[in-house]
Amino acid sequence: MFRGESSSVPVEEGEVYDVTIQDIARQGDGIARIEGFVIFVPGTKAGDEVRIKIERVLPKYGFASLVE
């Protein structure tokens, strides 16, 4: 098993995923999970089924935008 960052992160910047928003963060962003990895999606609410594009990936979580 590689010890690099990419091995523990199941998403890549620029990739598109279909997700369901599961929770709302304190800041009001929607939270989706891909293989347990938390993605913050602004402009969504719990229960939304949306297509997202990963914008930024950090070791513990990522940020995505809505794809129309």
Is position 35 within any domain? yes
Is position 6 within any domain? no
Is position 4 within any domain? no
| Torsion angle (degrees, nearest 10) of CA 61, 15, 13, 44 | -50
Task: Judge whether 32 and 19 are in contact, CB under 8 Å.
Answer: yes
Write out the residue range of the structural domain in which residue 25 sits: 14-64
Is position 7 within any domain? no
DSSP string, 51-65: EEEEEEE-SSEEEEE
Residue 48: which of 21, 18, 30 has the closest Cα?
A: 21
Is position 30 within any domain? yes
Q: How high is the mean pLDDT of the chain?
A: 92
pLDDT for 1 beyond 50: no
Q: What is the pTM of this model?
A: 0.86
Is position 56 within any domain? yes
The reported pLDDT for the residue numbered 7 is 55
d(CA 24, CA 1): 33
Number of domains, the chain: 1
Confidence of residue 8 (pLDDT cuts 50, 70, 90): confident
